[in-house]
Structure 1
Amino acid sequence: MKILAIDTSTQYGGVAMYDDESGALSEHRTGKSTRRFSESLMEMIDICLKNMSLAINDIDCIAVTGGPGSFTGLRVGLSTVKGLAYAMGKPVVTVSTLLIHAWMLPFHEGYVCPVLDARKKEVYSAVYHWKDADFEIVLEEGAYRIDEVLRYIDKKTVFIGDGLKAYGDTIRESLGAKALFAPRNMSGGLPSTLARLASARAKRGEFTDMATFSPVYFRKSEAEIKRGK
């Protein structure tokens, strides 16, 4: 199965093309702001397809991050995926941005805690525990103050995500030796990790109905707040 994976949930998103039969993978990432995804996304898709010597109609399934993350970025990614899926008649798999981060760190004996900067002194976060070849939820996904997340940490925990730039010192001061930190560049691997997760879900028939799907935001956007919605 050939999976096209699109991540526009964070500032450093990208696209991956994955063939789960051969194991071939092509990934193209960007360091541009999510405001630029609307201009660069189709170009990144084209690059990945060319790297794999594929045409767009060779895609069997499309995967996309379902949130949380950048409001603008998520909307651009999902609108692109909807357009491609409807035009080509291809199924779609959505995966949580936080869970994708966690799956970059399987097999850890303690906890895994993605931390994404949600601004307004909050983070998008969750706490997961690896057990029986899968992640159990210790703290449900949501928008939290960092101290609310840290209350759930009682063992060694690997933290990952762009929120570490703002809250890394706070985490270190609070948890001491229990706090471990993934390399900052690891978050750039979201598209390839998404592609592999989507492949497993697609084989189980776990597709998303894009006619009814809404991205996970956990709170209102600035525009919605200003409109009083």
Structure 2
Amino acid sequence: MLLLSLDAAFSYQNFTLFEAESGRCLLQWGEDRGKKSLELFPKIFKDLGVDPRSVDLFAVNLGPGYSTSLRVGITLIKTYAQVSKKPLVTYTSFEAMLPYLGGEGEYLLLVKVSRYWVFSRAGVARGKVRLSERPGVLSEEVLTELSRSGERPTFATPRRWKGELEEFLKGRFEVRGLPLEGFSYGGALAALEKVGRGEFADLFKVEPVYFRPPV
């Protein structure tokens, strides 16, 4: 079973082609192409010999991320799934980060969208992972509340944002840079777990994850 996972949440647009039965990654592609180049994906697939008609399962990142590129990426994958009559599974940027956490503990997972640090809480204990449902925006009020409560979660973000996050936090919390550029590989792993639980998406209800009211 071939799984195609697409991540268009940020300017680093990427996809992963995964063989589900063997758990083998067949192809990873990613490039920082800017927000206006998503229409090139069909050509990129063709140039790399990826035929969406041969894909058995599609997966797409719902964000958080930049709303325009998210919507274009989601629409593209929904179209492939609908035309080919193949199932679709969705994941979030935070779910795609979970395979990279490693050790047990409490985490704040963060992505940077424009000037906002968007977070979700996660916990790892006894091999099980829990993730909070709704994202929030990191603010001084949130940091003050964490400090007063005595909580010391590890702040985890893709490594490209590690330095910026450390500067924002000013040494108040530990920051871990996760070894990923895009979210399609971790998203493929999250999607396969959802397939095992029978959690397929309704094509007519798939929308980006908004961390504040859309404008």
TM-score normalised by the chain length of structure 1: 0.80
SS of equivalent residue, structure 1 residue 193 = helix
Residues 61 and 90 in structure 1, CA contact (< 8 A), matched pair in contact too: yes
- Closer/same/farther in 2, CA of residues 159 and 172 from structure 1, 3 Å limit: farther
- Closer/same/farther in 2, CA of residues 147 and 115 from structure 1, 3 Å limit: farther
Provide Cα deviations, 1:159-179, integer angstroms capped at 9, x if missing partner: 21355443322324212xxx0
Counterpart of 1:213, as a letter, is V
The residue aligned with 1:180 is: 175
CA-CA distance at 1:211 after TM superposition: 0.6
1:124 aligns with 2:124: no
1:169 aligns with 2:167: yes
SS of equivalent residue, structure 2 residue 71 = helix
Counterpart of 1:77, as a letter, is G
The residue aligned with 2:76 is: 80
Structure 2 residue runs of 5 or longer lacking an equivalent are none
The residue aligned with 1:17 is: 17
Q: Take 1:149 and 1:112, find their aligned partners in 2: how far apart are those partners?
A: 13
SS of equivalent residue, structure 1 residue 128 = strand
1:59 aligns with 2:55: yes
- Closer/same/farther in 2, CA of residues 123 and 18 from structure 1, 3 Å limit: same
SS of equivalent residue, structure 1 residue 5 = strand
- Closer/same/farther in 2, CA of residues 150 and 191 from structure 1, 3 Å limit: farther
Q: Take 2:99 and 2:143, find their aligned partners in 1: how far apart are those partners?
A: 19
CA-CA distance at 1:136 after TM superposition: 2.0
- Closer/same/farther in 2, CA of residues 139 and 209 from structure 1, 3 Å limit: closer
Q: Take 1:59 and 1:146, find their aligned partners in 2: how far apart are those partners?
A: 45
Residues 108 and 153 in structure 2, CA contact (< 8 A), matched pair in contact too: no
Provide Cα deviations, 1:11-65, integer angstroms capped at 9, x if missing partner: 21201100022333110001121222222x22343355x3xxx643221110001
How do 1:129-148 and structure 2 match up within 5 A? 129-137=123-131, 140-145=134-139, 148=142
Percent sequence identity over aligned pairs: 20
TM-score normalised by the chain length of structure 2: 0.85
Q: Take 1:220 and 1:139, find their aligned partners in 2: how far apart are those partners?
A: 16
Residues 38 and 69 in structure 2, CA contact (< 8 A), matched pair in contact too: yes
Counterpart of 2:156, as a letter, is F
The residue aligned with 1:103 is: 99
Residues 15 and 44 in structure 1, CA contact (< 8 A), matched pair in contact too: no
Counterpart of 2:19, as a letter, is D
Deviates more, 1:87-96 or 1:204-213: 204-213
Provide Cα deviations, 1:68-103, integer angstroms capped at 9, x if missing partner: 111111011111011101110011001111221233
Hey, which of these two has a bigger chunk of helix by percent? 1
Q: Take 1:94 and 1:165, find their aligned partners in 2: how far apart are those partners?
A: 29
Residues 14 and 30 in structure 2, CA contact (< 8 A), matched pair in contact too: yes
Counterpart of 1:102, as a letter, is L
Counterpart of 1:131, as a letter, is A
SS of equivalent residue, structure 1 residue 182 = strand
Q: How many aligned residue pairs are there? A: 210
- Closer/same/farther in 2, CA of residues 92 and 152 from structure 1, 3 Å limit: farther
